[in-house]
Amino acid sequence: TQLLEQSPQFLSIQEGENLTVYCNSSSVFSSLQWYRQEPGEGPVLLVTVVTGGEVKKLKRLTFQFGDARKDSSLHITAAQPGDTGLYLCAGVRNSGNTPLVFGKGTRLSVIA
Amino acid sequence: KAGVTQTPRYLIKTRGQQVTLSCSPISGHRSVSWYQQTPGQGLQFLFEYFSETQRNKGNFPGRFSGRQFSNSRSEMNVSTLELGDSALYLCASSNSGGLNEQFFGPGTRLTVL
């Protein structure tokens, strides 16, 4: 059983469309991170959310941490081909030196 | 600051052989973690080293081992390679803050024939 479930697994959309991807768990996390990975590269950290209900914006990307700190969402407005990649969420279950738990990711393809 | 570097980038081995992968973290980062990424299982945590000591370990067999040197550079070794070990091996360094934010290298693509 995956501790962090991401949905959808795959998403293919046209340039200019909006989309939301989800990261869900039955466990509580002290913080949650989102990464984007492009082919042939390692994941790159986009954002970290810490407080339940927190919303962070990064240009056209909006990240939200659930009130109960069990889930998160990433909303992209007016998607562009440069947004194509694998989006991974990762959580810290307890504060301190515990390893991150990763979801399997959402593979996004934005077609021009 | 230079990013995380990994060598080699690509590697082809045969079953039964062993392999050593190398990782140089971001300057000043004392924590180095290793992950295995496959299409089926996603990103799975192998182990973490901090100040030359293994601090956390994932659920992998003993054929997977690692070490960290005094300059924080790290190596991981896989002995008696199996076909299922074919994967992208990612190294990440962290500044050891409570958020455990990972800075990844580009990975080593290992193919076992």
pLDDT of residue B80: 97
pLDDT of residue B2: 82
Contact call for A42 and B58, based on CB within 8 A: no
Averaged pLDDT for residues A49-76? 96
pLDDT of residue B98: 73
CA-nearest residue of chain A to B107? A42
Averaged pLDDT for residues B88-105? 90
Q: d(Cα B34, Cα A59) in Å, to the nearest integer? A: 31
Q: How many angstroms separate the Cα of B90 from the Cα of each of B32, B50, B95?
A: 10, 17, 17
Averaged pLDDT for residues A50-67? 96
Contact call for A48 and B101, based on CB within 8 A: yes
Q: How confident is the model at residue B67 (pLDDT cuts 50, 70, 90)?
A: very high
Closest CA to B93 of B28, B22, B9: B28
Q: Is the pLDDT of residue A70 over 90?
A: yes
Distance from CA of B3 to the nearest CA of A (A): 11
Q: How confident is the model at residue A97 (pLDDT cuts 50, 70, 90)?
A: confident
DSSP A92: E
Q: In what order do the strands lie in the sheet with A55-58?
A: A5-7, A19-24, A71-76, A61-65, A55-58
Q: d(Cα B79, Cα B65) in Å, to the nearest integer? A: 8
Q: Is the pLDDT of residue A1 over 70?
A: no
Averaged pLDDT for residues B85-113? 93
Which alpha helices (H) appear in B12-107, and where do they start and end? none
Instruction: Supply the mean pLDDT for chain B.
Output: 95
Q: Is the pLDDT of residue B46 over 70?
A: yes
Q: What angle do CA B28, B31, B33 make, to 5 degrees?
A: 135
Q: How confident is the model at residue B62 (pLDDT cuts 50, 70, 90)?
A: very high
Q: d(Cα A103, Cα A86) in Å, to the nearest integer? A: 11
Q: How confident is the model at residue B94 (pLDDT cuts 50, 70, 90)?
A: very high
DSSP B35: E
Q: Is the pLDDT of residue B41 over 80?
A: yes
DSSP B52: T
User: To probe the interface with B, which of A100, A104, A106, A107 has the most B CB atoms within 10 Å?
Assistant: A100
Neighboring chain B residues of A33 at a CB cutoff of 8 Å: 99, 101-102
Q: Are B88 and B107 in contact (CB under 8 A)?
A: yes
